[in-house]
């Protein structure tokens, strides 16, 4: 299945954020969206999720216009992992994960035993079963991010879209979340995520999409598109490339 | 429902039951608990009760309607407050956030000003609440903003202030000897005038609105997430928000029309209910209804027995509610759990 935007103009009622954007994501593939602050990453993400209508252009999901999907139908195909945030009410982690099952029930239904089994599997996969009875408001930022990932998985979608999944996470949890994103691609999901760190894109993504000031600067396999010159053009700042002795691994350092 | 749900709802139910029995027994004409149970049992069994006629009359004509109205109004305000706090993701919200109370107040004082009958005043209050919220909703939806919920709340505050000015104007123009005391009394809230015929217009809307909210309990959990997140989970937030606001407004308007303005219950009781039953609306709504009913029964019993004259309910709920809410802020409310 393919999620694709054609010739998109994106933005809000009062301003245009980006123009002429083409982007496509297939199931089983991990795509990283890179670019400076205010370049339109989040807007593009929300447009592809169907949360903001494109000002021009078409979004297709599985060969049909995204607008032709009812919200429940769409939520069974695309899941959204927002930046982890503090919640207002202290729902348990299990309830938060169960909310991912909402689109599989009707207007008046509550999660069933089958829904609980799906949620349990999702929590087991991310190793957060021990948190199931804990209030979502009382766990750490890294644990919240894993709970939101489990919620997305419980949605049983084809595509998972993540907005800066590593923002506000400590070093160890960043690596953890990147490994999980890699694994989601390997288990057949189409994954799209935004990040501020090209190294995360290098390690977790198959392809990268470079977005600067609302325009596509480049797109391609991470090994080809993520080079020093491209990143310097993308962020408008000098970038150093460090490579280890046998030339197998490399990392970018800004400034 | 999980295992822990049963004790919390049981506690809430016992609280309501205690409030009911206390309210029936205590009063200017004290009735023993045995007599109360005997009269009710006899009625249920369809035989004549073996008590003085005055006792039966107090139970069925005077105290009974008032007790039932107190339970219904308390439950209604608590349920509406619970729904609005979830919908607006803000634990400081009360049922009048969208102008239901101020609309009802303007309707009622206009009814008193034009010397209408009791039923017409109640109808005006009811309709006033509905119109106020519909207006707020129409304006709030016309403004295309990124955060529709915030716009709604701000519109509600502004329209509420305008309606408050309207109430002030009518009071200023009113006859200070007859109308003004009646308006003041109504604006402070009272159940003193409730009779048997008031119960059906109260019971119908309150039950209908509460059932709608209970039916939507899981969707309400999801609606307490940020709007975009709820939509990405497959919840059509726009139409659902209208349904929840309509149900909560129906419930609020019916109770304000019957009892006048009673603040604090819709703000404080949802917190107690959340502490007792947790944030899941499946348990929270019944818990809030039971606790709210019990709470207003206690307050109303105090209102009619605490002093030589009736104490307005709005004043008592403020006296009890303020210290309680401050205590809540400093202790359990840190996580709003």
Is B305 in the A-facing interface, judged by CB distances under 8 Å? no
Is A95's CB within 8 Å of B280's CB? yes
Alpha-carbon span A62 to A48, nearest angstrom:
13
Is A36 in the B-facing interface, judged by CB distances under 8 Å? no
Nearest to A3 by CA among A58, A62, A45: A62
Strand order across the A56-61 sheet: A15-26, A2-12, A56-61, A64-65
What is the pLDDT, as a whole number, of residue B321?
Answer: 85
**A208 to chain B, closest Cα gap in Å:** 24
In the structure, how many helices (H) and strands (E) does chain A have?
Answer: 9, 12
Alpha-carbon span A208 to A125, nearest angstrom:
26
Flag whether pLDDT at B324 surpasses 90. no
Q: Poorest-confidence range of A61-70, B18-27, B45-54, B306-315?
A: B45-54
Flag whether pLDDT at B277 surpasses 70. yes
Alpha-carbon span B156 to A182, nearest angstrom:
47
Domain containing A231 — which CATH number?
3.40.50.300
What is the domain range of residue A217?
2-254
What is the pLDDT, as a whole number, of residue A255?
Answer: 80
Alpha-carbon span A167 to A84, nearest angstrom:
8
User: C-alpha distances in angstroms, B105 versus A168, B25, B77, B190?
Assistant: 48, 32, 15, 13
Average pLDDT over chain B reads 89
Domain containing B40 — which CATH number?
1.10.3470.10
pLDDT digits (tens, 9 = 90+) for B286-298: 999 999 999 999 9
Alpha-carbon span B191 to B304, nearest angstrom:
9
Nearest residue of B to residue A110, measured between CA atoms: B218
Q: Which of A88, A107, A138 sits opposite B89 (nearest CB)?
A: A88
What is the pLDDT, as a whole number, of residue A248?
Answer: 78
Task: Name, in order, each residue with C-beta under 8 angstroms of B266's C-beta and a sequence gap of 6 or more.
Answer: B77, B78, B80, B81, B84, B94, B95, B96, B252, B292
Is B139 in the A-facing interface, judged by CB distances under 8 Å? no
Alpha-carbon span A37 to A191, nearest angstrom:
21
What is the pLDDT, as a whole number, of residue B2?
Answer: 46
| B336 or A230: which leads in pLDDT | A230
| DSSP bridge partners of A32 | A193, A208
Flag whether pLDDT at B147 surpasses 90. no
What is the domain range of residue B244?
5-335
The confidence band for B72, taking pLDDT boundaries of 50, 70 and 90, is very high
Residue A255 in tokens:
């400034």
The residue among B153, B232, B239, B244 with the most chain A CBs within 10 A of its CB, best to mutate, is B232
pLDDT digits (tens, 9 = 90+) for B212-269: 999 999 999 999 998 899 999 999 998 999 999 999 999 998 898 899 999 889 989 9
Domain count for chain B, please give it.
1
Classify B125 as helix, strand or coil. Answer: helix
What is the pLDDT, as a whole number, of residue B209?
Answer: 95
Residues 12-71 of B with CB under 8 A from A: none
Flag whether pLDDT at B194 surpasses 60. yes
* pTM listed for this prediction: 0.89
Domain count for chain A, please give it.
1
ipTM over cut 0.90: yes
Which percentage of chain B shows pLDDT scores above 90?
Answer: 55
One pLDDT digit (tens) per residue for chain A, 255 residues: 999 999 999 998 888 999 999 999 999 999 999 999 888 999 999 999 999 999 999 999 999 999 999 999 999 999 999 987 777 789 999 999 999 999 999 889 899 999 999 999 999 999 999 999 999 989 998 899 999 999 999 999 999 999 999 988 889 889 999 999 999 999 999 999 999 999 999 999 999 999 999 999 999 999 899 999 999 999 999 999 998 888 778 899 988
């Amino acid at each position: 299945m393919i999620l694709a935007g054609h010739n998109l103009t994106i933005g809000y009622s009062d301003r245009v954020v980006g123009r002429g954007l083409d982007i496509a994501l297939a199931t089983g593939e991990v795509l990283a969206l890179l670019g400076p602050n205010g370049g339109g990453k989040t807007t593009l993400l929300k447009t592809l999720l169907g949360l903001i209508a494109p000002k021009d252009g078409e979004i297709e999901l599985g060969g049909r216009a995204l607008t032709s999907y009812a919200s429940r139908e769409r939520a069974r195909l695309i899941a959204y992992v927002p930046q982890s945030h503090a919640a207002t009410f202290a729902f348990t982690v299990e309830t938060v994960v169960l909310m991912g099952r909402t689109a599989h029930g009707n207007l008046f239904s509550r999660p069933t035993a089958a829904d609980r089994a799906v949620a349990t599997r999702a929590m087991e996969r991310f190793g957060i079963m021990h948190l199931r009875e804990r209030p979502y408001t009382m766990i750490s930022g890294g644990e919240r991010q894993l709970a939101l990932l489990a919620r997305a998985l419980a949605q049983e979608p084809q595509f998972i879209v993540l907005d800066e999944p590593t923002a506000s996470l400590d070093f160890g949890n960043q690596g953890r979340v990147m490994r999980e994103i890699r694994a989601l691609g390997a288990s057949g999901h189409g994954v799209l995520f935004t990040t501020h760190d090209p190294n995360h894109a290098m390690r977790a993504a198959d392809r990268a999409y470079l977005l600067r000031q609302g325009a596509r600067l480049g797109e391609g396999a991470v090994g080809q598109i993520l080079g020093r010159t491209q990143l310097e053009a993308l962020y408008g700042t000098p970038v150093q490339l460090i490579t280890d002795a046998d030339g197998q691994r490399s990392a970018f350092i800004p400034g | 429902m999980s295992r822990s749900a049963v004790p919390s709802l049981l506690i809430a139910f016992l609280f309501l039951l205690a409030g009911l029995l206390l309210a029936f027994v205590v009063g200017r004409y004290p009735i023993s608990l045995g007599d109360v149970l005997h009269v009710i049992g006899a009625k249920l069994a369809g035989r004549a009760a073996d008590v003085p006629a005055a006792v039966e009359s107090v139970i069925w004509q005077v105290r009974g309607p008032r007790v039932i109205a107190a339970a219904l109004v308390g439950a209604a305000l608590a349920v509406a407050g619970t729904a609005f706090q979830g919908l607006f993701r803000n634990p400081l919200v009360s049922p009048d956030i969208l102008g239901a109370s101020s609309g009802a107040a303007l309707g009622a004082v206009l009814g008193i000003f034009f010397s209408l009958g009791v039923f017409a005043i109640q109808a005006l209050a009811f309709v006033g609440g509905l119109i106020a919220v519909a207006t707020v909703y129409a304006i709030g939806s016309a403004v295309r903003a990124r955060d529709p919920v915030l716009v709604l709340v701000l519109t509600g505050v502004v329209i509420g202030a305008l309606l408050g000015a309207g109430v002030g104007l009518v009071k200023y123009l009113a006859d200070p000897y007859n109308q003004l005391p009646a308006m003041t009394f109504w604006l402070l809230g009272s159940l003193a005038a409730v009779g048997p015929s008031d119960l059906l217009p109260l019971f119908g809307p309150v039950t209908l609105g509460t059932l709608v909210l209970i039916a939507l309990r899981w969707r309400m959990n999801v609606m307490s997430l940020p709007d975009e997140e709820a939509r990405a989970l497959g919840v059509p937030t726009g139409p659902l928000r209208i349904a929840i606001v309509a149900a909560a407004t129906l419930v609020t308007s019916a109770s304000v029309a019957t009892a006048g303005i009673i603040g604090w219950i819709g703000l404080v009781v949802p917190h107690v209910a959340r502490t007792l039953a947790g944030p899941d609306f499946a348990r929270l709504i019944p818990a809030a209804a039971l606790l709210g009913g019990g709470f207003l029964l206690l307050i109303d019993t105090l209102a009619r027995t605490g002093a030589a004259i009736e104490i307005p309910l709005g004043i008592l709920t403020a006296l009890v509610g303020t210290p309680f809410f401050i205590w809540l802020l400093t202790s359990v409310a840190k996580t709003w759990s």
